[in-house]
Amino acid sequence: MRIAVPALLAGTVAFAIVAHATNWQLPPEEIAKTVAHCESCHGAGGNGTNALIPRLNGQHYQYIENRIRAFRDPTRQDPHAINTMWPVATETGDEMIFALASYFSSQTPVEPPRRNDALAQMGRKVFMEGVASENVPACISCHGVQGQGTDTVPRLAGQHGAYLAQQMESFRFALRESNAMHPELNNISEDQIKALVAYLARD
């Protein structure tokens, strides 16, 4: 069940937090302070400019919640990410996670440019159809026809290209733990990763 709580001011931006629970109470100034801390790396509204730090604006609520919780287990994460996110995740309570997920998921996502050059066309083909001869499955079945994802599957469209490439490489070499993504990307090539980035990303 979702309930709306009063809008609060973070910097100069007023926003409404929508909760996924009925029994949490957090001071608005505490939420604003935590949001500002996240935005110091992820950018205003989650739309940051550092190509190696993921955009959070418009990412799915459940995915954000699950991802923050996942950082509480340092054995399942990319070592570069865990260096920053493990202390954050372990010090952030569940109620604050609800608030953060609500805030960032409510922001307008970045749309990809939908390039039409040869590399992007190759990426679209890999995304839509996979490469059966190389045992590379299509991405569309989980991430959606536009790369928009679902509740628990991340939005890829409009993400930073360098971040997308880094994560695919992390899954490919099992640097980031995922029972779903290891088999999906086990056989992907560097050229196919570059093509997917050309199709999905916006920098």
- Burial class of residue 156 (count of CB atoms within 10 Å of its CB; 0-12, 13-18, 19+): buried
Contact, 201 vs 109, CB < 8 A?
Answer: no
Reduced to 3 states (helix: H, G, I; strand: E, B; else coil), residue 10 is strand
95-148 residue pLDDT tens: 999 999 999 999 999 999 889 999 999 999 999 999 999 999 999 999 999 999
Phi-psi category of residue 57: left, alpha or beta, with phi > 0 → left and psi -120 to 50 → alpha: beta
The class level of CATH for 3-105 reads mainly alpha
CA distances from 81 to 99, 145, 163 (A): 22, 28, 11
The class level of CATH for 118-200 reads mainly alpha
Lowest average pLDDT, out of 45-54, 74-83, 133-142, goes to 74-83
Q: What is the pTM of this model?
A: 0.88
- Burial class of residue 33 (count of CB atoms within 10 Å of its CB; 0-12, 13-18, 19+): exposed
Per DSSP, 4 falls in state E
The CA distance from 117 to 104, in Å, is 32
> Please, which residues have CB within 8 angstroms of residue 188's CB and are 6 or more apart in sequence?
136, 168, 172
The CA distance from 92 to 102, in Å, is 15
Kindly give the interhelix angle for 94-105 and 28-42, rounded to the nearest 10 degrees. Answer: 60
Contact, 129 vs 138, CB < 8 A?
Answer: yes
Lowest average pLDDT, out of 25-29, 40-44, 151-155, goes to 25-29
The CA distance from 92 to 77, in Å, is 17
Nearest in space to 64 (alpha carbons), one of 7, 158, 149, 146? 149
Nearest in space to 202 (alpha carbons), one of 137, 155, 149? 155
Q: What is the pLDDT of residue 82?
A: 86
Q: What is the pLDDT of residue 181?
A: 95
Mean pLDDT computed over 79-96 = 91
Reduced to 3 states (helix: H, G, I; strand: E, B; else coil), residue 46 is helix
- Burial class of residue 151 (count of CB atoms within 10 Å of its CB; 0-12, 13-18, 19+): exposed
Q: What is the pLDDT of residue 74?
A: 84
Q: What is the pLDDT of residue 202?
A: 95
36-48 residue pLDDT tens: 999 999 999 999 9
Domain ranges in the chain with CATH number 1.10.760.10? 3-105, 118-200
